[in-house]
């Protein structure tokens, strides 16, 4: 057995109870750190002001401090000798057992190592923390999966292997959000002061070209997406969330959260639009009660929901098959972010003569013109019920990128209308 890992010592260690506290300001700062702008989560005087359900995930590092907590100060792993620079956050689980989360709290934190597994190239350590309120109830339970590179091969158990693959169908909901270039600078103030997320030299030492976004920040974006589409932004419906961190995110990149509802569980994955890389997988959110939004009437065996505007994209696809010269004449790549109950994304890759559901994929990785419009409004625009220019002026359609390319789409839409 490796001298770096003493499994029995780690599992039998009794940690001292700690303290964990937060107030409304802490919760608001966290909400901003994970991209929230809804007043319900960022304005303390809003009538429905609430704590984002993913917020308690930071309390294991924050504790009761109101100041900066030195990185690694609360990272005690008895029986395991390791270099903090060799640590990767593998998975994260959070479960809320008592709703609603209070607007301020003073809890007891009870940490425990519940698993140490040999993964060959490294050791996998499971850290559980229970947060106890004044009545003695466990309000929140978290489990962090930490992979420590370079100390595997100690002859321990390999550990359980769980897979939470989404259904083989189109997502029931898609949320697309661009992170800020300063996203990590804001998020770190919620108690994750790992220099990897701010210091270019430390990032370089860890073999990254620049500081990366916190995995738990992406975790927060994903949680908000499910909260919006399947809980009606009601935190009381949010029971638990589990994710696996598959790849890093760089601040400023665009996150695409795809969601599939199966009864009271919403499977999800998160991709980076610019690189078409999955950054969160093996993930789900458990919700309480009947899910809201797109999945209300959908059973696991039913067909995926159909957009009203789907027939418009289908007609445009037929048009470029029949008139490939139109695609060549336009010669541009468009992305449509269709919002509404059946939110999704369509790509018009007129450089390669393709129209398909989903964000741009290789060989095309970046749209030149992006339009965001509701399903109803785009259907009405395409069928002539709403004038496109009027819709733009009234804010019904938002265009980023080369706005002049939007006008060229009339060529293909006119051809589709004649089919």
Q: Is 192 known to be catalytic?
A: yes
Q: Is 197 known to be catalytic?
A: yes
Active-site hit among 80, 148, 212, 412: 212
Quote the pLDDT of residue 307. 75
- CA gap 212, 122 in Å, rounded: 22
Which domains are delineated in the chain?
7-295 (3.10.129.10), 310-417 (3.30.1050.10)
Answer yes or no: pTM beyond 0.85.
Answer: no
Quote the pLDDT of residue 411. 83
8 A C-beta contact, residue 138 and residue 132: yes
Quote the pLDDT of residue 362. 66
Active-site hit among 6, 26, 172, 192: 192
Active-site hit among 51, 80, 146, 197: 197
Per-residue pLDDT of the chain (419 residues; tens, 9 = 90+): 456 899 999 999 999 999 999 999 999 999 999 999 999 999 999 999 999 999 999 999 999 988 998 876 667 788 998 887 788 899 999 999 999 999 999 999 999 999 999 999 899 999 999 999 999 999 999 999 999 988 998 988 888 878 899 999 999 999 999 999 999 999 999 999 999 999 999 999 989 999 999 999 999 999 999 999 999 999 999 999 999 999 999 999 999 999 999 999 999 999 999 999 999 999 999 999 765 434 332 333 334 446 788 888 888 888 888 888 888 899 999 999 998 777 788 899 998 888 888 888 766 668 899 999 988 888 888 888 888 888 888 888 999 989 889 888 888 877 776 66
Quote the pLDDT of residue 299. 34
Burial classification of residue 213, based on how many CB atoms lie within 10 Å of its CB (0-12 exposed, 13-18 middle, 19 or more buried): buried
Quote the pLDDT of residue 306. 60
Q: Any idea what DSSP says for residue 231? A: H
Q: Is 215 known to be catalytic?
A: yes
Active-site hit among 33, 90, 122, 215: 215
- CA gap 418, 211 in Å, rounded: 51
Q: Is 326 known to be catalytic?
A: no
Q: Pick from 268, 266, 271: which is nearest to 359 by CA?
A: 271
């Amino acid at each position: 057995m490796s001298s770096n890992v003493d499994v029995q010592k780690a599992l039998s260690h009794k940690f001292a109870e700690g303290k964990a506290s937060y107030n409304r300001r802490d919760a608001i700062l966290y909400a901003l750190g994970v991209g929230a702008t809804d007043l319900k989560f960022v304005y303390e005087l809003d009538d429905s002001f609430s704590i984002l359900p993913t917020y308690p995930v930071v309390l294991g590092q924050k504790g009761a401090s109101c100041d900066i907590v030195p990185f690694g100060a609360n990272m005690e792993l008895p029986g395991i000798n390791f270099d903090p620079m060799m640590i990767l956050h593998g998975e994260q689980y959070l479960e809320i057992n008592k709703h609603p989360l209070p607007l301020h709290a003073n809890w007891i934190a009870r940490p425990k190592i519940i698993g140490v597994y040999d993964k060959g190239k490294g050791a996998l350590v499971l850290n559980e923390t229970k947060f106890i309120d004044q009545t003695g109830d466990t309000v929140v339970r978290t489990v962090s999966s930490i992979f420590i590179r370079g100390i595997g091969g100690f002859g321990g158990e390999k550990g359980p292997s769980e897979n939470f693959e989404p259904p083989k169908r189109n997502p029931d909901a898609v949320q697309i959000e661009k992170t800020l270039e300063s996203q990590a600078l804001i998020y770190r103030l919620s108690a994750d002061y790992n220099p990897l997320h701010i210091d270019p030299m430390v990032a370089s030492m860890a073999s990254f070209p620049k500081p990366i976004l916190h995995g738990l920040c992406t975790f927060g974006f994903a949680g908000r997406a499910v909260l919006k589409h399947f809980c009606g932004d009601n935190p009381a419906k949010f029971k638990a969330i589990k994710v696996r961190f598959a790849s890093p995110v760089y601040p400023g990149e665009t996150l695409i959260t795809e969601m599939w509802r199966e009864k009271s569980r919403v499977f999800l994955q998160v991709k980076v639009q610019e690189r078409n890389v999955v950054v969160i997988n093996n993930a789900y959110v458990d919700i309480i009660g009947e899910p809201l939004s797109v999945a209300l009437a959908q059973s696991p065996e039913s067909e995926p929901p159909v957009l009203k505007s789907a027939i418009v994209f289908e007609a445009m696809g037929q048009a470029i098959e029949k008139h490939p010269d139109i695609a060549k004449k336009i010669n541009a790549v468009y992305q449509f972010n269709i919002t509404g109950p059946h939110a999704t994304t369509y790509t018009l890759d007129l450089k390669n003569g393709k129209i398909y559901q989903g964000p741009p994929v290789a060989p095309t990785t970046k749209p030149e013109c992006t339009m965001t419009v509701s399903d109803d409004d785009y259907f009405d625009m395409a069928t002539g019920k709403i004038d496109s220019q009027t819709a733009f002026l009234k804010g019904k359609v938002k265009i980023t990128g080369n706005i002049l390319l939007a006008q060229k789409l009339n060529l293909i839409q006119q051809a589709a209308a004649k089919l």
